[in-house]
Amino acid sequence: MDDSSVREKSIGYWSVVSIGIGGMVGGGIFAVLGLAVKFAKGGTPIAFAIAGLVALVTSYSYARLSVAYPSRGGTVEFLNQAFGSGLAAGGLNILLWLSYVIMLSLYAYAFGSYGAMFFPEASQLIWKHVLISGIVILLTCLNLLNAKVIGEWEEWIVGFKIIILVLFIFAGLASTNMQAIQPSTWTDPFQLIAGGMIIFLAYEGFELIANAAGEMRNPGKTIPKAYYTAVGFVILLYVAIAVVTLGNLPVDQIITAQDYALAAAAKPFLGSFGYTLITIAALLSTASAINATLYGASRVSYTIAKEGELPAVLEKKIWQQPLEGLFITSGLTLIVANFFNLSSISTMGSAGFLIIFGAVNYANYRLFEKTHSRRGISLAGMLLCFAALAILVWQTAREAPSEIWVLIIMVVVSFVIEASYRQVRNKL
């Protein structure tokens, strides 16, 4: 292949930035805004900023690892490079896959919650579960036929939802009551940080930049700038959305409309039109996010199987696609989205990604000579992730002890699956 064809296939800076922004603003903000307000009250903008800081510091490790190990495997590749193909990397990779299942569940839950608003109040709960199941099944079928059916529209959908969110911010700023975010309205520091951590998964997605690292022009300069630009923009976007929401709708009303808070917050200054517009944006955004994550998660299981960390049946392709991984991912998503509440889903997802991101920071700390990194930044990222995880666990244990067991089971199951598979494989 000549140089000109390589250049034609390469991805430029702004395309890479859009991958990161699209990954983060995939639907999480539509789902978790009300949950953040429930925990942080008037300090919600600060909670989003704190969560964003953890993501921004972690993006340094991702940037350095992406340059040193450009691969479509992304996080899976980084963990294997640092920890080898043993139990540690295998268990973490399975936890990554399960965390993607949780993200899918969050998107499906948000889709069902926003979509149910178009139906009579008495039947909204039923319709929410119908829509949750329907969108997962529909998009699984689309992935069977052609994974690019919605993917070809992804850039347009990303652009549409960013435009709608920016419109929400600028239209709402004029009527925003800044007294609603004064320090006197904040919760205590630990609960405020916990509020940021329980919605940390709203920043999940910037790591998708790593999957395109091998196709970028001038990756040494492009990749770090793309990570920092994408995460920095989303931090500002989320903080601004939180300010406008709190400044236009009382906290108790936001909590009441927790599952569809963004649409409810638009109604005071954009009326019914704004409510409907945000709802449509949420449906499009979460549907595209489900499609993209289904596609990615099924391939994560395929990559893990190729590394020998999951049964080879997940590596087998039918119609040139890893369908076993797709079916298992979709089935687990249907269970989690229909039988767990928003708080449980968000806690599991945020905790899972904090563990994974902490491990990636440690991976870069170990590989600093090969990645040409400053160990202090990676160490700070690791400590931030695990400190944030500890605060999240503390807050969850205080507010909803039963959810701690769900989190523990998720982590333990990841390593039990890996250990059991290795034991069986070694006996064969």
pLDDT of 352 > 70? The answer is yes
Helices (H) and strands (E) in the chain, counts: 18, 0
| % of residues, the chain, pLDDT over 90 | 50
Helices (H), ranges, 307-399: 323-339, 342-366, 368-371, 375-399
**Which tokens belong to 235?**
């931090």
DSSP 258-294: GGGHHHHHHHHHHHHHHHHHHHHHHHHHHHHHHHHHH
**Would you say 229 and 16 are in contact if contact means Cβ atoms under 8 Å apart?**
no
In this prediction, residues 92-109 reach a mean pLDDT of 90
pLDDT of residue 3: 41
pLDDT at 145: 67
What is the spatial distance between Cα 70 and Cα 363, in angstroms, rounded to a whole number?
A: 15
Specify the range with the lowest mean pLDDT, choosing from 145-159, 265-279, 327-341: 145-159
pLDDT of residue 320: 47
Nearest Cα to 21, choosing from 209, 210, 213, 244? 209
What tens digit of pLDDT does each residue of 360-376 get? 999 999 999 999 999 99
Give pLDDT, residue 195.
87
- The predicted pLDDT at position 357 comes to 96
Strands (DSSP E) found in 47-127 = none
Residue 337 confidence (pLDDT): 94
- Reported as type and span, the H/E element at residue 229 is helix 219-248
Q: φ and ψ at 307, to 5 degrees?
A: -80, 0
Torsions phi, psi for 152 (to 5 deg): -65, -25
The terminus-to-terminus CA distance of the chain in angstroms comes to 42
Find the largest Cα–Cα distance for the chain: 68
How many Cα atoms are found within 13 Å in the side-chain-facing hemisphere of 386? 10
Q: Residue holding tokens 């890893």?
A: 322
**What mean pLDDT do residues 258-271 have?**
92
Question: Percentage of the chain surpassing pLDDT 70?
Answer: 86
State the average pLDDT over residues 49-57. Answer: 95
Q: What is the mean pLDDT of the chain?
A: 85
Residue 425 reports pLDDT greater than 70 = no
Q: Is the pTM of this model over 0.75?
A: yes
Averaged pLDDT for residues 381-390: 95
State residue 1's pLDDT score: 41
Check if the beta carbon of residue 44 is closer than 8 Å to that of residue 277.
no
Are 378 and 60 contacting, i.e. CB atoms less than 8 angstroms apart? yes
213-225 pLDDT, tens digit per residue, is 777 778 888 899 9
| pLDDT(146) > 60 | no
Indicate the pLDDT class of residue 110, thresholds 50, 70 and 90: very high
Q: Given a cut of 90, is residue 396 above it in pLDDT?
A: no
**115: pLDDT confidence band, cut at 50, 70 and 90?**
very high
Q: What is the DSSP string of 116-154?
A: GGGS-GGGHHHHHHHHHHHHHHHHHHHHHH-THHHHTTH
Domain over 3-427 is classified CATH 3.90.25.10: no
Distance CA 46, CA 29 (A): 15
> Who has greater pLDDT, 290 or 132?
132
What pLDDT is attached to residue 215? Answer: 74
The pLDDT value recorded for residue 339 is 93
203, 356 contact by CB (below 8 A): no
- pLDDT grade for 100, boundaries at 50, 70 and 90: confident
Question: Higher model confidence: residue 59 or residue 10?
Answer: 59
Q: Within a 10 A sphere around the Cβ of 72, how many other Cβ atoms? A: 14
Q: How many residues does the chain have?
A: 428
According to the per-residue pLDDT averaged within each range, which of 82-96, 134-148, 153-167 is highest? 82-96
Please say whether the beta carbons of 210 and 75 come within 8 A: yes
pLDDT score for 111: 94
Residue 154's pLDDT is: 63
More confident residue, 380 or 159: 380
The pLDDT, as a whole number, for residue 303 is 60
